[in-house]
Amino acid sequence: MHLAAMIDLGVPEQYLTDELAKLNLTSEFKITFESGSKMGISGTRAEVHAADQHDHRHHDKIIKMVMSAGFSPAIEARALGIFQIIAVAEAKIHNIPIEQVHFHEVGAIDSIVDIVGAAICLEWLGVERVICNAVEVGSGYVNCAHGRFPVPAPATQEILSGVPCTYGTVSGESTTPTGAAILKASVDEYEPKSAFIPEKFGYGVGHKDFEIPNVLRIVLGESTASQVSKSEQHYKIEANIDDMAAENFEPLIQDLMAAGAGDVFFTPIIMKKSRPATCLSVLSNQANVHALADMILNRSSTIGLRIVPFTKRILPRELKEIETSFGTVRIKEVTQPDGRKRWKSEYEDVQRIAVAKGKDFRSVKQLIDFEIMQQLPSTNSK
């Protein structure tokens, strides 16, 4: 449903299928889109036709598949973050290490397409912030690989820990582990308080029939809070670590990003007695700061950390689509305090064109930026 809504919103179908082809799984599935409706609400219906519904994969195999696909760094990070959320939940439920997690429903080809497709579409849209209503999970019972369970399924409930949920609005399962993980990895704010100006709409039509229209609506617009330069309260969590093996840092990065960190970075430092060490820095909003601090203490060797509040000032920005001789290219345009504007062409679009043309990224970017500059003479490129 979310892929259908994304396509209905404007993500090019060909772009999605071309990106999914990088998984080298085209012999195992075909994705189709068609018009559909539920209770008078029209939109797009998507279906993943899998050649073998019983081919499930382990977490480590999926990681290797995604990392070897050649996606942009942003798409790869988001997709891996979603899978990591599911793996952490499954490991906790079954009391096993993450590397031993065997995905059942989520390891099937249709769920892999759903998750990677979500990352592809969200990055194409270039949204700065994702907001969401409380998540309706449904009611009744659902058949899982391990038996029959009450709704929500154990993995769904574990993934949605800390997320506002409603129960019993419809009869049956209305949020799956896959959907829950996509939300958990992508949503910045639930039950938003600020006003929102809707601009474009996408409707993904489901296959089930519920008491209410089984339709997912995705809206692209602007929050009133982002129309002017604004200050937001954020936190930096820091820990000096001098006794942890280097290879343990990468999985920690993935876990922190999947848990909602705004950014994670390392700084080499020299501590007392001239000991070399690493300063781990994690940026967080107020909602996630305590959970991220707990994760650092649970999954690293540090025995203490610092939580420093700071103010983050964000320039107003707008994502625009510019037509060039190479095709449509998105730019991010920001407005400076003095009223002047500057812009930057989106890496993913330029890289996609460069690969398609068989040319190097730098030369293609120069040509594209020159064309865009002719259409935006009053702005500065970056």
Q: What is the pLDDT along the chain (382 residues), one digit of tens a residue?
A: 999 999 999 999 999 999 999 999 988 899 999 999 999 999 999 999 887 655 677 888 888 899 999 998 889 989 998 998 988 888 888 888 777 776 655 557 888 999 999 999 999 998 888 999 999 999 999 887 777 889 999 999 999 988 999 999 999 999 999 999 999 999 988 887 778 889 999 999 999 999 999 999 999 998 765 543 344 568 999 999 999 999 999 999 999 998 889 899 999 999 988 999 999 999 998 778 888 999 999 999 999 999 998 877 778 888 888 999 999 999 998 888 888 899 999 998 999 999 999 999 999 999 999 999 988 866 666 6
Q: Is 186 found in the same domain as 331?
A: no
Same domain, 216 and 143: yes
d(CA 190, CA 134): 6
From 78, 102, 79, 105, select the one nearest 90 (Cα to Cα): 102
| Same-domain pairing of 290 and 339 | no
> Are residue 21 and residue 51 in the same domain, yes or no?
yes
Domain boundary among 223, 238, 260: 223
Query: Domain boundary at 167, 193, 223, which?
Result: 223
Give the end of a domain, one of 223, 239, 254. Answer: 223
Same domain, 209 and 270: no
| Shared-domain flag, residues 59 and 202 | yes
By residue range, what is the domain housing residue 367? 317-381
Domain count, the chain: 3
Q: Are residues 115 and 16 in the same domain?
A: yes
Reported as half-sphere exposure (CB side, CA atoms, 13 A), residue 51 has a value of 6
- CATH code for position 244: 3.30.70.1380
- Do residues 172 and 204 both lie within one domain? yes
* Nearest partner of 136 among 41, 249, 212, 38, judged by Cα: 212
User: In this structure, are 49 and 167 located in the same domain?
Assistant: yes
**Are residues 154 and 203 located together in one domain of the fold?**
yes
Structure tokens at 156: 């769904």
Radius of gyration of the chain, Cα coordinates, nearest whole angstrom = 22
Considering the domain architecture, whether residues 309 and 348 belong to the same structural domain is answered as no
Angle at 319 between CA 202 and CA 115, to 5 degrees: 50
- Looking at the structure, do residues 261 and 154 belong to the same domain, yes or no? no
